[in-house]
Structures are given as structure tokens and as C-alpha cells.
């Protein structure tokens, strides 16, 4: 089955700096890669996603890149703000292969003032 | 649009007792997931339904966990008997699925289970 690894487990940045979180996946047939943000005590919420036919996608301060050959994808947050502090999860799914959604282990991002 | 509803929000039980969680997905969503999230870890898939059929339950501890999705809508997850290591947040999520391109999964608030 699919295995998703995520690094780092914790990340501390200064406000205004950039943050990068990296994930690798094992199933080359995976074709949908969402990123979720989970604030303390709340539900995971989708912040951005990318499909395998695209190499990069951007939404304001958030961007995701995908390297299918290397089977890794990354989340980039620019101009970080205190409200970006949360746990971020990457995930992988193979559409058409049962749509099983497998999550990484999470990254605790702390944006310091 | 109403979101994914889960109940109860919190539950405290003694070990060896039984417990049940309920999930009502977004209307029209064919795919329903149950995840277990232990504190400090990522969500771990327990079982996935497509309508009322099981797609994947490979990580469900079937000696104590069971789940059903009657009529392809609401779902219940049961633990009997509970163990201390079952303490976690149980998240339900749904997606349109069914072969559509819309694969975004929406999560409920979760049920926080504490086994003492």
C-alpha cells in the first residue's frame, strides 16, 4: 500500500520568513496530493492540492510543487504569519484506485514574532 | 452546505467497555473515511466506504473494531472492548468520490475518546 513520509516533524520560523515542508510517497500511481492544516483541537482543513498532471500550483502565499519522477512534493509558505502556526499534513491518493487517502505524520509549524 | 457531522464530541469510558461513534457525511458524498488520530500523529485510515461497500479495512483491528454504513449514508464505528491504546480522536471524512474528479475530503470535528 501507499506510504507517505513527511519532514520535518517540527519547524520554527520567524514571522515573515518562508517555510518548506517535504513529503515523499511510495505508490507511483498516486495522482492527487492534498495538504491539510490542522489547528489545535480542530478538524483538518484542505489548504491546497495538486494533481499529477501539474508540476506546481500557487495560491497567494502558499505553493505546492510535485516531482513525479522522484515521488516527492513540497509545501511552501512565504511571508509567514503567526496565524500560520498549526500542524500541516500532506497526503496522497490514487484516484480510480479506490481513492484511499493516506496521510503523512505531520509537521508542527511555529511562527515566532 | 452542511459539513460532516460527528457525535459525540467527547467520550470517556473504562477499558473493556464498548463505545460507538456516529458520522453523517456531506449529502451526496459517496466516499466515507474513518481515521484514528493519536495525539501528535497523522490520521491513520481505519476503514473506507464507497456508498455502502467497504473499499479498504486493512488497518481496522477487526477483533475489536467494527463499522457499517447503512444505506450508503450515515456510518457508525464501534469499539468493543476498548483498550487504553484506543484513546485518540476518531475523525470521519467524506468526499464526492465515485469516480468523479472531485476527490477533496472534508472532515468532521472528530470524537475525542479517552479510555481509562
Per-residue pLDDT of chain A (113 residues; tens, 9 = 90+): 889 999 999 999 999 999 999 999 999 999 999 999 999 989 999 999 999 988 999 999 999 999 999 999 999 999 999 999 999 999 999 877 678 899 999 999 999 99
With 0-12 CB in 10 A as exposed, 13-18 as middle and 19+ as buried, what is A18? exposed
Q: If you count residue pairs, one on A and one on B, with CB atoms under 8 Å apart, how many are there? A: 61
Nearest CA in chain B to A106: B42
Query: Smallest Cβ distance to B55: which of A6, A43, A98?
Result: A98
Torsion angle (degrees, nearest 10) of CA B23, B26, B29, B32:
-20
Residues of A in contact with B31 (CB under 8 A): 99
Backbone angles phi, psi at B92, to 5 degrees: -110, 140
- Whether A52 has its CB under 8 Å from any CB of chain B: the answer is no
Torsion angle (degrees, nearest 10) of CA B94, A94, A11, A81:
-60
* Residue A67 β-bridge partners: A72
Residues of B in contact with A100 (CB under 8 A): 45, 48, 55-56
Which pLDDT score, from 0 to 100, does residue A54 have? 87
Where in chain A does DSSP place strands (E)? 4-7, 10-14, 19-25, 32-38, 45-51, 56-59, 62-67, 72-77, 86-93, 101-103, 107-112
* Residue A36 β-bridge partners: A46, A89
Which pLDDT score, from 0 to 100, does residue B70 have? 83
Joined grid coordinates for residue A73? 512534493
pLDDT tens figures, B35-53: 999 998 999 999 999 998 9
Q: Give, in order, the Cα–Cα distances in Å from A80 to each of A12, A47, A62, A108.
A: 11, 15, 10, 14
By the 8 A CB rule, do A4 and A23 touch? yes
Joined grid coordinates for residue A3? 506510504
Sheet holding A72-77, edge to edge: A4-7, A19-25, A72-77, A62-67, A56-59
Which pLDDT score, from 0 to 100, does residue B82 have? 97
Indicate the pLDDT class of residue B1, thresholds 50, 70 and 90: low
Q: Report DSSP state, residue A43.
A: -
**How many of the other CB atoms lie within 10 Å of CB of B89?**
20
- Whether A32 has its CB under 8 Å from any CB of chain B: the answer is yes
The Cα B3–Cα A106 span in angstroms is: 24
Using a pLDDT cut of 70, give the percent of chain B over it. Answer: 95
Amino acid at each position: 500500500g501507499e506510504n507517505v513520509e513527511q519532514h520535518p516533524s517540527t519547524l520554527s520560523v520567524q514571522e515573515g520568513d518562508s517555510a518548506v515542508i517535504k513529503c515523499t510517497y511510495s505508490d507511483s500511481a498516486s495522482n492527487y496530493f492534498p495538504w491539510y492544516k490542522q489547528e489545535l483541537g480542530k478538524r483538518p482543513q484542505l489548504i491546497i492540492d495538486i494533481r499529477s498532471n501539474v508540476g506546481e500550483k500557487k495560491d497567494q502565499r502558499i505553493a505546492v510543487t510535485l516531482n513525479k519522477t522522484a515521488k516527492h512534493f513540497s509545501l511552501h509558505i512565504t511571508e509567514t504569519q503567526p496565524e500560520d502556526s498549526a500542524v500541516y499534513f500532506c497526503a496522497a491518493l490514487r484516484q480510480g484506485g479506490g481513492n484511499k487517502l493516506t496521510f503523512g505524520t505531520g509537521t508542527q509549524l511555529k511562527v515566532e514574532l | 452546505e452542511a459539513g460532516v457531522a460527528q457525535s459525540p464530541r467527547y467520550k470517556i469510558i473504562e477499558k473493556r467497555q464498548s463505545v460507538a461513534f456516529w458520522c453523517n457525511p456531506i449529502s451526496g458524498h459517496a466516499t466515507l473515511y474513518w481515521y484514528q488520530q493519536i495525539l501528535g500523529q497523522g490520521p491513520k485510515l481505519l476503514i473506507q466506504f464507497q456508498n455502502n461497500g467497504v473499499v479498504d479495512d486493512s488497518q481496522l483491528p477487526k477483533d475489536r473494531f467494527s463499522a457499517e454504513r447503512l444505506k450508503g449514508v450515515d456510518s457508525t464505528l464501534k469499539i468493543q472492548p476498548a483498550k487504553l491504546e484506543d484513546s485518540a480522536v476518531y475523525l470521519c471524512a467524506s468526499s464526492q468520490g465515485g469516480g468523479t474528479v472531485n476527490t477533496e475530503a472534508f472532515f468532521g470535528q472528530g470524537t475525542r475518546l479517552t479510555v481509562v
